[in-house]
């Protein structure tokens, strides 16, 4: 990993953030248009092109679900259920905050109702790895919220099969439909609908660069949660941090794909050099070392800042998906962080554990969106409906002011609609 001395935070940010290739956008838009026009046939064509899979039926059948259980271990199912229960507990606490509220203002009754959206599509990545954990993180918040139709899509392998553990996770969590498709074509199908896959109201879940672009492209037709991928990990550390822990954490996130964005920000040159040395030493010995090496060399970096203030400023500009703070004053420093998807404090809160079993959600904003939102949660599947009941008396009380405001805006018929009721 390249070590940079940061003297100007703003200039460094402009230089270091990965740029999205324009050609990728063109590819994504072409696939979306073809799926919108040709439906299932385009979905199947792209699966054949990208995965080599010849798929007759896109939907995973009941017998396929049953068969998937025979291919996973009891230990795997136990671990999935533990993760499910932890996320379910967290989301239920959040759900309980949202109770219907009645408000009375001078005779006008306002009711705020918290109701679930009707359908959602959960994108579950595949390809280089399998992600049953992402099933839990996307399906459970929707289930807790009360969403009736929960669709799971995931890329098949070259044999046209979805990973069995992903299928089992979807079944355990209560998904209503599972489909064998991934990539841009899956996002397009969820957004516009095909003969096999009915459109959904909202698409959620993480994905690589192409999936993230696809979600952005269809967001004018279908709701999306956020831009979630490729994965990001930022670590703030001082000379009190264990450099081996830092190295292991950077490696762990970098193994997702070659386009991950993982980095260390420190005020200690010694720590920077030690972490770099440990990574170099570990790389030849680890599994998936080619992928990790490619990721860290292409997108990874170590930034050495002058002081704590510059470290905080840099992190708030980058707004990483995951942020680990490994400093003497982690809690104090955390209070100054305004932009990140998830903050993990101390030596024993690694992002890798949060991806599975800490009870937090690992579907998090990337691409700077940590400045405006946090993790996926039950909130993403609930909308606020407003009911209003006004009386003739309450209208009469505000009539003069309505006349003033409608006249000021040049909309006289707005007032006439009120005046007509008061005569």
Between helix 164-173 and helix 62-69 the angle, nearest 10°, is 110
What are the backbone angles phi and psi of residue 12, rounded to the nearest 5°?
A: -65, -40
Residue 321 annotated among the catalytic residues of the structure: yes
Contact assessment for residue 169 and residue 60, using Cβ atoms and an 8 Å cutoff: no
Residue 261 pairs in a beta bridge with 232
Q: State the catalytic residue, choosing from 88, 255, 321, 362.
A: 321
DSSP 154-176: E---TTS---HHHHHHHHHHT-S
| Catalytic residue (one of 91, 177, 322, 362) | 322
* Vertex 168 angle, CA 60 and 122, to 5°: 65
Whole-angstrom distance, CA of residue 68 vs CA of residue 47: 21
* Distance separating alpha carbons of residues 367 and 316, to the nearest angstrom: 12
Q: Strand 232-237 relative to strand 382-389: parallel, antiparallel, unpaired?
A: unpaired
DSSP run (H or E) holding 422: helix 412-422
Q: Which of 361, 99, 31 is nearest to 225 (CA)?
A: 361
By the 8 A CB rule, do 365 and 232 touch?
no
Please indicate whether residue 401 is annotated as part of the active site. no
Catalytic residues: 321-322
């Amino acid at each position: 990993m390249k070590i940079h001395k940061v003297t100007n935070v703003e200039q460094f940010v402009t230089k270091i953030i990965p740029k999205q290739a324009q050609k990728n956008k063109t590819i994504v838009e072409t696939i979306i248009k073809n799926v919108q026009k040709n439906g299932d046939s385009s979905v199947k064509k792209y699966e054949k092109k990208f995965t080599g899979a010849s798929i007759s039926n896109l939907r995973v059948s009941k017998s396929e679900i049953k068969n998937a259980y025979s291919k996973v271990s009891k230990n795997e199912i136990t671990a999935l259920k533990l993760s499910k229960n932890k996320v379910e507990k967290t989301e239920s606490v959040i759900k309980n905050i949202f109770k219907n509220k009645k408000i009375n203002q001078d005779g006008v009754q306002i009711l705020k109702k918290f109701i679930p959206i009707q359908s959602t599509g959960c994108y579950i990545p595949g390809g280089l790895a399998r992600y049953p954990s992402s099933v839990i993180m996307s399906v459970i918040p929707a289930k807790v919220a009360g969403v009736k139709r929960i669709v799971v899509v995931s890329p098949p392998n070259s044999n046209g099969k979805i990973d069995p553990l992903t299928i089992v996770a979807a079944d355990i969590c209560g998904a209503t439909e599972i489909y064998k498709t991934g990539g841009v074509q899956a996002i397009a199908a969820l957004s516009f609908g095909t003969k096999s896959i009915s459109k959904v109201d909202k698409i959620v879940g993480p994905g690589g660069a192409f999936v993230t672009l696809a979600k952005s492209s269809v967001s004018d037709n279908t709701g999306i949660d956020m831009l979630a991928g490729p994965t990001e990990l930022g670590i703030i550390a001082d000379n009190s941090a264990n450099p081996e822990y830092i190295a292991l954490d950077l490696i762990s996130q970098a193994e997702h794909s070659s386009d991950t964005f993982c980095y260390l920000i420190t005020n200690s040159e010694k720590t920077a050099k030690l972490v770099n040395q440990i990574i170099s030493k570990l790389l030849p010995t680890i599994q998936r070392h080619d992928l990790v090496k490619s990721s860290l060399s292409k997108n990874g970096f170590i930034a050495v800042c002058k002081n704590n203030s510059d470290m905080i400023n840099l992190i708030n500009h980058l707004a990483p998906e995951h942020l680990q703070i490994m400093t003497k004053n982690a809690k104090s420093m955390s209070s100054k962080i305004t932009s990140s998807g998830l903050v993990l404090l101390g030596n024993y809160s690694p992002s890798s554990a949060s991806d599975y079993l800490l009870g937090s959600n690992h579907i998090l904003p990337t691409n700077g969106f940590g400045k405006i939102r946090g993790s996926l949660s039950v909130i993403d599947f609930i909308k606020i409906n407003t009911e209003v009941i006004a009386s003739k008396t309450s209208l009469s009380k505000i009539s003069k002011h309505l006349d003033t405001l409608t006249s000021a805006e040049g909309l006289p018929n707005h007032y006439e609609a009120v005046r007509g009721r008061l005569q």
